[in-house]
Structure 1
């Protein structure tokens, strides 16, 4: 596997894309008009939360680690995202919070778990096990 210093950019891009995907799916599911610009309007609080979490967890040190990077980014994106939504008059209701927790958890942790499994499998093959 590549060194963490080389993985922070793809990991940050993946986080950004998964948060945008979450927002786009939600916009489409609720038939809320323009999915593209609407996805950005829905996603910005969660993106801000993810950025803050990247800094607080120093995720660039181990960007593909589920713990603490992935969990910190996931929890930060949802927590700050919901706080910013509430502060700007956007909807924050329990069902939406639960959907955001589950979906962003699957997205932001899922690819990290898959990458770890692939890395382990690759290491085993290289060792000839």
Structure 2
């Protein structure tokens, strides 16, 4: 069960927002009309993949860890997202898979790496005092 003393809620919200940003950028880049509603249409398979990873990995225990949570959420987001897209007749082509892997790695692993770096720097500075 998620603990209120851990930063799981901001991490879950960050994952959700970054997946929506990924979908919105893609919709905008391909001039697919309504970016807001379209982003949700594009994002739902990826959001489902992230949600599954959160449950399977019990991500709330260490939501900001790169391994295994960050990598698991990233890969599940892409793999489950692509499988759901294929199952629902949405486009799944190799270039899109590559772009999704790279973009979602930057987003979902990037903020976790940045948080880890900030925490490390703060701890190092505190230990010097």
Matches within 5 A, 1:1-129: 5-128=5-128
- TM-score (normalised: structure 2): 0.95
Structure 2 CA distance for partners of 1:4 and 1:64, relative to 1, 3 Å: farther
Q: How far is 1:5 from its partner?
A: 4.2
| RMSD after superposition | 1.3
- TM-score (normalised: structure 1): 0.95
Q: Give the conservation status (yes or no) of the 8 Å contact 1:5–1:60.
A: no
Runs of 4+ in 1 over 6 A off after TM superposition: none
Alignment size in residue pairs? 127
Q: Give the conservation status (yes or no) of the 8 Å contact 1:4–1:61.
A: no
Structure 2: state its 5+ residue gaps: none
